[in-house]
Amino acid sequence: MKKRIISPTVKKKEDRLPPGQKWIKAPIVYDIVDDIPDWDMEKYRFKVWGEVENPIELTYEELLKLPSAEVVADFHCVTRWSVPEIVWEGVLTKDLLEIVKPKPTAQYVLVHCLEGYTTNLPVEYLEKEDSILAYKMFGKPIPKRHGYPLRLVVPQLYAWKSAKYVWGIEFLDHLVPGYWEVRGYHHVGDPWKEERFWGD
């Protein structure tokens, strides 16, 4: 039986909705490009490299064979909407860390995506029990516009950190800002602290 994890924020009885947010029924889709192509999954490779002891490169089929889990988590967008209890299935990032073994020098990651998007976050957020590299959403393969073939979901942070179309995670010993971060967005993005932009 798959491990099922209920996000700590979902378990909260009070203060479950971060400040400035409102509940909606389904995620609104945003992309940095107008058209998302049909990815060539024969050529797709998921890679982890940088400040790790064990870099990996996996086909999509190899990725699907890794131990999987299900995470139930709320989803908070920086544009002030939230969706309750989305069900994700995939590889827990803390399990991935056990495979790649980050070096003590690894402080940040830069997530790379197929359409050119990037985002950064501190390594500690990959250690959270509810962070997941998801390939399913509500029990079915993630719809194309929601991140197929692979989405990093980090419920502890605003949704721009939950990058879509992921192909790689680069471990770094220093901060490298991603797509929105170079445009003024916060390098962490904690919704309970309303870390939307630098200076907030």
Kindly report, residue by residue over 84-112, the tens digit of the pLDDT.
999 999 999 999 999 999 999 999 999 99
Which class is domain 3-27+39-193? alpha beta
Give the separation between CA 195 and CA 184, rounded to whole angstroms: 11
β-sheet with 118-122: strand ranges across:
56-58, 46-50, 166-172, 108-113, 118-122
Tell me which residue of 105, 111, 96, 113 sits closest to 55, measured CA to CA.
Answer: 96
Do residues 27 and 86 lie in contact, with contact meaning Cβ atoms separated by under 8 Å? yes
Average confidence (pLDDT) over 114-118:
98
pLDDT at 13 over 80: no
Give the separation between CA 166 and CA 150, rounded to whole angstroms: 5
pTM of the model: 0.95
Kindly report, residue by residue over 125-169, the tens digit of the pLDDT.
999 999 999 999 999 999 999 999 999 999 999 999 999 999 999
Q: How many CA atoms lie within 13 A of 101 on its CB side?
A: 3
Where residue 14 falls among pLDDT bands split at 50, 70, 90?
A: confident
pLDDT at 199 over 90: no
Kindly report, residue by residue over 26-61, the tens digit of the pLDDT.
999 999 999 999 999 999 999 999 999 999 999 999
Do residues 187 and 175 lie in contact, with contact meaning Cβ atoms separated by under 8 Å? yes
Locate 164 and state its tokens: 């879509």
pLDDT at 9 over 90: no
Where residue 200 falls among pLDDT bands split at 50, 70, 90?
A: low
Do residues 149 and 143 lie in contact, with contact meaning Cβ atoms separated by under 8 Å? no
Residue 113 pLDDT: 98
- Buried b vs exposed e over 34-68: b needs ≥16 C-beta within 10 Å? eebeebeeeebebebebbbeeebebebeebeebeb
